[in-house]
Structure 1
Amino acid sequence: MRRKISILFIVLLLGLAVSGCINQPTTSTITQTKTTTSTITQTETVVKEPHYYPISVKDFANRSITIEKEPKRIVSLAPSITETLYYLGALDRIVGITKFDNFPADVKEGRTVIGGFSDPNIELIASLKPDLIIITSMHYKYLEQLEQIAPVVVVDPGNIDEIYEQLELFGRILNKQGEAEGVINFMKAKIEEIEIKVADKPKVKVFYIVWSNPLMTAGKGSFINDLITLAGGENIFEDVQGWPQVSIEEVLGRDPDVIVLPPHAGITREELCKSELSKTSAVRNGRVFVISDDDIVSRPSPRIVEGLEEFARLIHPQAFNYNVNLLVCNVTAG
């Protein structure tokens, strides 16, 4: 009997144990992952370009000039200088010009006229407080006085290559090398375009009248000689340097096919046709032409390519489908 009670007691304990295990709550272990956010601070380093000025340049007179600071008040003593600065986008820096400046059309607005080309008013120039004065070789007699006012740069281009040199020089002085390169590339592209059009055309003998009395022309080393050559012509006085005075007999002996004169040559085309030059082939065939504007062939500025195009149209009108009837002198010598 006791044995049964003992067995029953053991069974009861086992049941309670099993029951306790089943009903015991489950403990979960939660592992938390902590995320760390980092803030990155970027430090921007600004690298300043080195100062461009002061710079030293050599002008057309082979003079060394130091430009201490960026020129912002420029006096120009020649229309060609003003025009070149205009093409570089520096017209707003010009404070003084000559009375002969006429390009662009509004060039005189807001600027002081400092006198003529050969007779600038030095006191007036000084009153403008310029930081740069640009002159030509025609102004050497004023050089010492002008140097007392501001740095002076001399330019004196005599042909197209030297017009490029002038642009490069101004580009350096004004820190506008990119603009200068752009203008030079524009000029070269225009010249190339014209050269291609006249490449297969016969060379035409050309006489250009700079002035009628005394009779003057443009020879080798001049930009007008360059224009005639590039336009597909042959300057009959290419063997003479500069701006020579020539005789009627010399012109008749070289017998030009085309005569070109500017509007202000001291003679009209009608008068020319009644002169001794009426014996030339140019007049006999009616091939006497007047260019539209003296300035586009006489001023060494980027506008010279306009003069080139006009020369080419007059010398080889068929290459440009150009009608030259209005410019032909129809008077024929007997």
Structure 2
Amino acid sequence: MKKTRLLLVFALAALVLVSGCMGSSSPQKSSKTASPSSTVVSSSTPTETKEVTCQCPKPKPYYPLTITDFAGRKVTIEKEPKRIVSLAPSITETLYFIGALDRVVGVTKFDDFPPGVQKGRTVVGGFSDPNIEVIASLKPDLIIGTSMHLKYVDKLEKIAPVVIIAPKNMDEVYKSIELLGKILNMSGEAEGVVQFMKAEVSSVEFRVANKTRPRVLFITWWNPLYVPGNGTFQDSLIELAGGENIFHDASGWAQVSLEEAVARNPEIIIFSAHSGATIDEICKSPLANTEAVKNGRIYFISDDNAISRPGPRLVDALKELSYFIHPEVYGYNFQPVSCPVEG
């Protein structure tokens, strides 16, 4: 009964507030002085009636909107973007997750998520070489690119406002999603995506907390050998997944020698799906002398795009890395990858 009465009180209060803003009349005691926002109406009855006109403020238009992008540029969006050209797969994926894919009219030839994303949309070129003429023909009202597209900004700005999105770590990925949500007047949807990602990250961190951190060698390309160093998503994801990147001291994408990798004796080796390596090559290489190969701790990433594109799917890559690095916290028992026995 208390709950019912409380709800009734809230409902009556809301009704009174709405009625006031609609300019409805209500009995009032007579007053000698009328406020500027009210009108006193004479009446032949003993009680005067005051008609109150509420001066409700009009909501401020959302656009034009001025934001600061990842390149430190002030960009003004005059109206709500309805025709967007995305110059990077990661941007297209982010727009999909916040529910704005229907606004995208142009994508790159490398866009492949969600499946069929190119269907019904114009391909505007590659990732690093957009076709300016094709973009202009689409008559976009917003173009979203990365730091790689800064060299094209002068030309692109003649077509539509240009926003640069270039996150370098997980926290900046969150900020990039929130920024896109703000630009599109979809902050609620964007915040929902961010909160989901943070919950997934926290779940992994909780599982691997206080676990011993095994030494991890992540190989993005086999010959020559390229590995992710400090400042890459792979490096930060390895740490979040409970591992230790043996080339964390390197900067960015680094070319290293097999001898140096062997000297650091990784306990786990993870290959990108398109690294070009085979088990046979690994077993015949100097890496055969590492603990990782001896113990069969060799893994291949299932989706290189998920782990390399700065967008919402990074949490999927994080979970897969944590399966490889700490399968015991999930109750998994991966079949060891063993080198063939000669003879």
Q: TM-score of the superposition, structure 2-length normalised?
A: 0.81
Distance 1:200 1:332 in 2: 35
1:331 aligns with 2:339: yes
* CA deviations over 1:133-155 (Å, ceiling 9, x no partner): 11112223322211111111111
Give 1:50's aligned residue. Answer: 60
AA paired with 1:95? V
Count of aligned pairs: 297
* CA deviations over 1:210-236 (Å, ceiling 9, x no partner): 112221111112111111001110010
Distance 2:73 2:227 in 1: 31
Distance 1:332 1:286, change over 3 A: farther
Give 2:211's aligned residue. Answer: 201
Distance 2:140 2:218 in 1: 39
- How far apart are residue 165 of structure 1 and its match? 1.5
AA paired with 2:197? M
* CA deviations over 1:141-179 (Å, ceiling 9, x no partner): 322211111111111112111101111211221112222
- How far apart are residue 333 of structure 1 and its match? 8.5
Give 1:282's aligned residue. Answer: 292
Task: Answer whether contact 1:262 1:290 (CA < 8 A) is retained.
Answer: yes
Give 1:179's aligned residue. Answer: 189
Higher relative contact order (CA 8 A, sep 6+): 1
AA paired with 1:49? P
Stretches of structure 2 lacking an aligned partner (at least 5 in a row): 1-48
Moved more, 153-162 or 308-317: 153-162
Which residue among 234, 242, 250 is the counterpart of 1:240? Answer: 250
- How far apart are residue 323 of structure 1 and its match? 3.6
Stretches of structure 1 lacking an aligned partner (at least 5 in a row): 1-38
Task: Answer whether contact 1:283 1:332 (CA < 8 A) is retained.
Answer: no
Give 1:308's aligned residue. Answer: 318
Alignment of 1:126-141 (within 5 A): 126-141=136-151
Give 1:82's aligned residue. Answer: 92
Give 1:322's aligned residue. Answer: 332
- How far apart are residue 44 of structure 1 and its match? 8.4
Say what the alpha-carbon RMSD is for the aligned residues: 2.1
* CA deviations over 1:28-83 (Å, ceiling 9, x no partner): xxxxxxxxxxx999978775421011111111111111111111111001100001
Moved more, 303-312 or 223-232: 223-232
Q: TM-score of the superposition, structure 1-length normalised?
A: 0.83
Moved more, 296-305 or 169-178: 169-178
Task: Answer whether contact 2:307 2:317 (CA < 8 A) is retained.
Answer: yes
Task: Answer whether contact 1:269 1:290 (CA < 8 A) is retained.
Answer: no
Alignment of 1:284-299 (within 5 A): 284-299=294-309
1:168 aligns with 2:178: yes
Task: Answer whether contact 1:278 1:333 (CA < 8 A) is retained.
Answer: no
Distance 1:42 1:271 in 2: 85
Task: Answer whether contact 1:77 1:98 (CA < 8 A) is retained.
Answer: yes
Which residue among 84, 89, 109 is the counterpart of 1:99? Answer: 109
* CA deviations over 1:273-328 (Å, ceiling 9, x no partner): 22222221111111010011101101110100000000000111111112422xx4
- State the SS of the aligned residue for 1:217: strand
Give 2:21's aligned residue. Answer: none
Give 1:23's aligned residue. Answer: none
Give 1:4's aligned residue. Answer: none
AA paired with 2:134? L
AA paired with 1:57? I
- State the SS of the aligned residue for 2:115: coil
- State the SS of the aligned residue for 1:185: helix
Task: Answer whether contact 1:77 1:134 (CA < 8 A) is retained.
Answer: yes
Distance 2:76 2:51 in 1: 45
Moved more, 134-143 or 85-94: 134-143
Q: Computing the radius of gyration over CA atoms, which structure comes out larger, 1 or 2?
A: 1
1:250 aligns with 2:249: no
Alignment of 1:193-232 (within 5 A): 193-232=203-242
* CA deviations over 1:197-255 (Å, ceiling 9, x no partner): 11132111101111122211111121111110011100101112211111112111111
Task: Answer whether contact 1:286 1:332 (CA < 8 A) is retained.
Answer: no
Task: Answer whether contact 1:273 1:329 (CA < 8 A) is retained.
Answer: no
- State the SS of the aligned residue for 2:260: helix
